[in-house]
């Protein structure tokens, strides 16, 4: 890459790659903890079976206890599977726009823009989870596209066509296991608070056939260190009733039943993602359905999100949320500083033009064990 820097006039060859290194795990940390503010809900929205976004709670579901021994394979052949695609930021941006309009209408013209000026990051919860857990990630590489506009980082996931096809063409066994998670959501939810779904022609407790187009999403505001974040993500269901606050949210998860110390360590390791994913949207409760390899539900257990870090402390699969939070703070400030440096080949804009150049798109690669690579995409990238 070094020789590219001097090799000629081609603008794209001048793109330098910056590296942000992960913290060393297990090292004695002396630094002051980076606080993470409790998220507050801004608004909720739903996707219909036709995958139309609406600002309603039509896709909201209520938690109910699943029947003991429920069969997670039930309804597999009727699963309506949303095609694999990159989840663009469009619907989150529409939600943000709506929050800004509300501020204009209630506080006064210009309040929305003023509010937005303080936001450091707009992204989906899944992406923020990948960023924060990156120091602990051992397997999955992750690629992101980022734009930095008026002091706000807009972060979207990037998949190559090959990777998307790979996700679409899952091996039958993996596809089946993915379905267990959705099936558990159906067994655990109902359209009526506290009462099982009335699903004629189905076993008692079945919440309805799985359609992964349908989602209920929440957009929250929170703060990591000195960065204000606006984050959107799917919420599986609520306990009893929803009054606009995140404290009723429930996250549902499935996991293999724990039979030995190895299983336990694997589960404790997985809890890091459960914790960060839930924490980011202010979800206070995680209900885990333990299952057999054949998809039979054995037990369910409810965890309080805030208590997960204590459950793993000192154990073989231990992780420390503070490592994630201080890494997140470091990552965001490094990213902002890299992205606000003008590219080496930037031309002076002609004096007679008020036209601002389009913001650049940057590619970020989170490589397990290696660190984060940041580079500008050229116009064709």
Q: Which is nearer to ligand A3P, 72 or 120 (CB)?
A: 72
The beta-strand segments (E) located in the chain are 18-20, 40-47, 53-54, 62-63, 119-124, 142-149, 152-157, 189-190, 215-224, 227-234, 237-238, 249-256, 285-291, 297-304, 362-367, 371-376
Q: Which residue has the tokens 């539900």?
A: 297
Q: Out of ligand A3P, Mg ion, none, which partner does residue 148 contact, by CB within 5 to 8 A per kind?
A: none
Cβ distance to ligand A3P smaller for residue 46 or 375: 46
**Per-position x/- string for 128-147, each x denoting binding to Mg ion as judged by CB under 5 A, each - no binding:** --------------------
In angstroms, the CA 254 to CA 273 distance is 13
Instruction: State the nearest-atom distance from the C-beta of 105 to ligand A3P, in Å.
Output: 33
Footprint on this chain of ligand A3P (rule: CB under 6 A): 178, 181-182, 184, 236, 253-254
Q: Shortest distance, CB of residue 254 to ligand A3P, whole angstroms?
A: 3
The answer to the question of residue 211 lying near Mg ion (CB under 5 A) is no
End-to-end CA distance of the chain: 17
Decide which of Mg ion, ligand A3P, none touches 131; Cβ closer than 5 to 8 Å per partner kind.
none
8 A C-beta contact, residue 205 and residue 70? yes
Q: Which residues contact 306 (CB under 8 A, 6 or more apart)?
A: 279, 284
Q: Which residue is nearest to ligand A3P, using beta carbons?
A: 181
User: Of 153 and 235, which CB lies nearer to Mg ion in the complex structure?
Assistant: 235
125 makes contact, choosing from Mg ion, ligand A3P, none, with CB < 5 to 8 Å by partner type, with none
Whole-number minimum distance, CB 332 to ligand A3P, in Å? 23
Q: Which one, 95 or 252, has the nearer CB to Mg ion?
A: 252
The site partner of 182 among Mg ion, ligand A3P, none (C-beta below 5 to 8 Å per kind) is ligand A3P
Would you say 254 or 326 has its CB closer to Mg ion?
Answer: 254
Site string (251-280) toward Mg ion, x via CB under 5 A: -x----------------------------
The rounded distance, in Å, linking the Cα atoms of 175 and 172 is: 5
Question: In this structure, is the dihedral angle defined by the CA atoms of residues 176, 267, 301 and 64, taken in order, positive or negative?
Answer: negative
Closest by Cα among 179, 214, 291, 304 to 250: 304
Lookup: tokens for 75? 């309804």
Of 235 and 374, the one with the shorter C-beta distance to ligand A3P is: 235
**Running DSSP on this structure, what letter comes out for residue 3?**
G
Does the protein bind Mg ion through residue 236 (CB under 5 A)?
yes
Q: Are 221 and 42 in contact (CB under 8 A)?
A: yes
């Amino acid at each position: 890459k070094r020789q590219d820097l001097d090799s000629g006039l081609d603008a794209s060859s001048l793109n330098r790659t910056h590296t942000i290194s992960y913290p060393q795990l297990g090292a004695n940390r002396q630094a002051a903890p980076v606080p993470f503010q409790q998220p507050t809900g801004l608004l909720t929205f739903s996707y219909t079976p036709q995958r139309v976004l609406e600002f309603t709670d039509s896709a909201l579901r209520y938690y109910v206890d699943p029947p003991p021994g429920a069969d997670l394979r039930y309804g597999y052949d009727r699963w309506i599977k949303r095609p694999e695609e990159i989840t663009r930021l469009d619907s989150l941006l529409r939600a943000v726009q709506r929050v800004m309009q509300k501020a204009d209408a209630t506080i006064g013209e210009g309040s929305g823009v003023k509010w937005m000026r303080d936001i450091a990051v707009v992204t989906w919860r899944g992406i923020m989870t990948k960023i924060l857990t990156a120091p602990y990630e051992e397997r999955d590489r992750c690629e992101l596209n980022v734009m930095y506009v008026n002091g706000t980082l807009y972060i979207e996931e990037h998949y190559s066509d090959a990777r998307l096809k790979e996700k679409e063409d899952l091996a039958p066994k993996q596809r089946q296991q993915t379905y267990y998670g959705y099936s558990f959501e159906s067994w655990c939810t109902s359209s009526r608070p506290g009462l099982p779904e009335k699903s004629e022609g189905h076993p008692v407790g079945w919440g309805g056939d799985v359609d992964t187009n349908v989602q209920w999403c929440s957009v929250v505001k929170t703060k990591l260190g000195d960065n204000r974040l606006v984050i959107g993500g799917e919420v599986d269901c609520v306990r009893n009733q929803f009054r606009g606050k995140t404290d009723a949210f429930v996250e549902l998860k499935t996991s293999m039943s724990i039979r030995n110390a190895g299983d336990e360590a694997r589960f404790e390791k997985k809890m890091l993602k459960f914790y960060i994913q839930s924490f980011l949207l202010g979800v206070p409760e995680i209900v885990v359905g333990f299952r057999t390899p054949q998809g039979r539900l054995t037990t369910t257990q409810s965890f309080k999100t805030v208590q997960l870090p204590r459950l793993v402390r000192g154990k073989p699969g231990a992780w420390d949320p503070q490592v994630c939070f201080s890494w997140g703070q470091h990552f965001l400030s490094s990213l902002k500083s890299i992205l606000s440096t003008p590219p080496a080949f930037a031309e002076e804009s002609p004096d007679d033009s008020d036209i601002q150049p389009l913001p650049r798109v940057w590619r970020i690669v989170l490589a397990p064990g290696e660190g984060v690579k940041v580079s500008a995409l050229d116009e064709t990238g």
